[in-house]
Amino acid sequence: MKSRDTNLMLRACSLLGMAGVFLIISPGLRGTLLNGFTQAAVGLDKYSPYSYIGVALALVGGLMTAFAKGSAAR
């Protein structure tokens, strides 16, 4: 069981690292990503505070789902 967890963590770290390196070397994709984050922030400010409450509820719901799947009996 330990090697499976190690392999999953290694895979997750390597995917994040590769994505980070790709963003570093690709200015077009980096600009598109940053523009998307900017537009999302503007949209959240437009409907504040309800949009922040919605994002927080979605994050809590996602975390509860992820943790429930991890603790379920197999």
pLDDT tens digits, one per residue of 16-47: 999 999 989 999 999 999 999 999 889 888 88
pTM of the predicted protein model? 0.56
CA 63/CA 55 separation, integer angstroms: 12
CA 44/CA 32 separation, integer angstroms: 18
Quick one: pLDDT at residue 69?
76
